Amino acid sequence: MGAKGPETHTPLIDPGALARSGLMWSVGEGNGTEPLPVQGALCDQSGAIFAAYGTLAALLAREKTGRGQQVTSSLLGGIIGLNWINTSIAGWSGKDLPRCDRTHPASPLSNQYRCKDGRWIMMGSYLEKYFEPFYRVAGHAEILEDQRFSNPKAREQHMEELVTYTEQIFLEKPLAEWLEILKQEDLICEPVRHTSELLTDQQAFQNGYLTHYHHPRFGQDIVEIGSPVQFSEADVEIRRPAPLLGEHTEEILTELGYTKEEIARLRAEKIV
């Protein structure tokens, strides 16, 4: 919850931070659906990331001033910082940023669509310059002559009809075919994938975001998270796995001066 305030010692876990921050109300489609959680312990991660960020800033300050300082972070602070766009809009306007609504997006080309094979594609070609090229390459240039969609203001007034029309277009071809056609024209689009599908993404591997790692216990190569940050003068790599429970107990106790006999006794008495 943070180092100050009346709830400093109030327990909090990831779902509670999602709820308290307002993020749960931002997730989901339309304004009538129930609040939805976000998988993956997002608040836990954001709190840790901002703690690391603050620690680096404090280390730099120490180099400049010679003084150290306490650094604090929290689940609540981390997720508010990560969700800053929604929070700032609410602060400026006094209103929540509306949830995504597939029938009334800001642009028909900033929306997700189901393809012929049941897979989904996410379009990110929301700029005006993409409108005409998309419908031409999709084989539906006739829409460009329709006065309901002739300019952004007209499209906004008839957005639900335009989305319905575009939905039918995407149902004409499978996902892979659409990706090939649209990317050749530099239209921004990506497949909506399962996380498991990410594990074969060569772009992620080439940039070190994912890496193959031989785990000594499992005896096989596994896909592990690499680093989202790369350096020109240093390699980022996994040197060893996270320790197993008690893996380094004997090593640490030996460094602290315990004899083998004393460590054996501690194990026999189930102290370690």
Sign for the CA dihedral angle at 7, 12, 18, 24 comes to negative
pLDDT, one tens digit per residue, over 58-80 is: 999 999 999 999 999 999 999 99
pLDDT, one tens digit per residue, over 24-46 is: 988 888 766 788 888 889 999 99
pLDDT, one tens digit per residue, over 77-133 is: 999 999 999 999 999 999 988 888 889 998 999 999 999 999 999 999 999 999 999
Q: Is residue 169 part of a domain?
A: yes
Q: For the chain, how many structural domains are there in total?
A: 4
Residues 188 and 198 in one domain: no
Q: Is residue 230 part of a domain?
A: yes
Residues 258 and 236 in one domain: no
Residues 169 and 203 in one domain: no
Query: pTM above the 0.95 mark?
Result: no
Which pLDDT score is estimated for 78?
93
Q: Is residue 79 part of a domain?
A: yes
Sign for the CA dihedral angle at 259, 262, 267, 270 comes to negative
Section 5-31 average pLDDT: 89
Q: Which amino acid is at 114?
A: R
Section 127-143 average pLDDT: 95
**pLDDT for residue 7 is more than 80:** yes
Question: Which CATH number is 122's domain given?
Answer: 3.30.1540.10
Residues 22 and 80 in one domain: yes
pLDDT, one tens digit per residue, over 185-244 is: 999 999 999 999 999 999 999 999 999 888 877 777 888 899 999 999 998 888 888 888
- DSSP letter string, 13-69: -HHHHHHHHTHHHHSSBSSSSPP---SS-HHHHHHHHHHHHHHHHHHHHHHHHS---
Residues 209 and 141 in one domain: no
Residues 117 and 187 in one domain: yes
Residue with tokens 């109030």, as numbered in its chain: 10
**HSE-up (13 A, CA, CB side) for residue 177:** 13
Range of the domain at 237: 194-241
Residues 202 and 249 in one domain: no
Which pLDDT score is estimated for 33?
78
Residues 146 and 215 in one domain: no
